[in-house]
A = this chain, B = another copy of it.
Amino acid sequence: MYPNLIQHIRKYVELDENDVLVLIKYIKLVSLKKKEFLLKEGQVCRSLYFVEKGCLRMFFINDKTVEQITQFALDNWWMSDYFSFMDNKPSDYYIQTVEKSEVLTIDVFSFEELLKELPQMERYFRIIMQRALAASQLKVKYMYELTKEEFYMHFCTSFPEFIQRIPQYMIASYLGLTPEYVSELRKKNF
Mask of A104-137 contacts with B, CB within 8 angstroms, 1/0: 0000000000010001001101100111111011
Measured CA separation A160–B5 after assembly (Å): 43
Residue in chain B with minimal CB distance to A125: B126
A166: CB under 8 A from chain B?
no
Closest partner residue, chain B, to A141 (CB atom): B70
Cβ of A174 to closest chain B Cβ, rounded Å = 9
A71 and chain B: residue at smallest CB distance: B137
CA distance A79 to B26 in the complex (A): 33
Report yes or no: A140 in contact with B136, Cβ–Cβ below 8 A. yes
Which B residue's beta carbon lies closest to that of A131? Answer: B86
Among A130, A138, A140, A145, residue most surrounded by chain B Cβ atoms (within 10 Å)? A130
Interface size, A (range): 20 to 34
For the residues of A in contact with B, the DSSP-based class is helix
Copies of this chain present: 2
Distance A12 CA – B83 CA, assembled complex (angstroms)? 16
Pair B62/A145 contact, Cβ less than 8 Å: yes
Q: How far is the CA of A176 from the CA of B151 in the complex (A)?
A: 15
Chain B residues contacting A138 (CB-CB under 8 Å) are 83
The answer for the CA separation of A115 and B13 in the assembled complex, in Å, is: 13
For A140, the chain B residues whose CB sits under 8 A away are 70, 136, 139-140, 143
Asked whether A2 is an interface residue with its Cβ less than 8 Å from the other chain, the reply is no
Q: CB-defined interface of A160-188 with B at 8 Å, one 1/0 digit per residue?
A: 00000000000000001000000000000
Contact assessment for B60 and A141 in the assembled complex, using a CB-CB cutoff below 8 Å: yes
Q: A68 in the interface, Cβ–Cβ < 8 Å?
A: yes
Given contacts A122-B123, A136-B140, A139-B140, 17 further A-B contacts (CB under 8 A): A60-B145, A62-B145, A68-B145, A70-B140, A70-B141, A70-B144, A71-B137, A81-B137, A82-B130, A82-B134, A83-B134, A86-B134, A122-B122, A129-B130, A129-B132, A129-B133, A132-B133
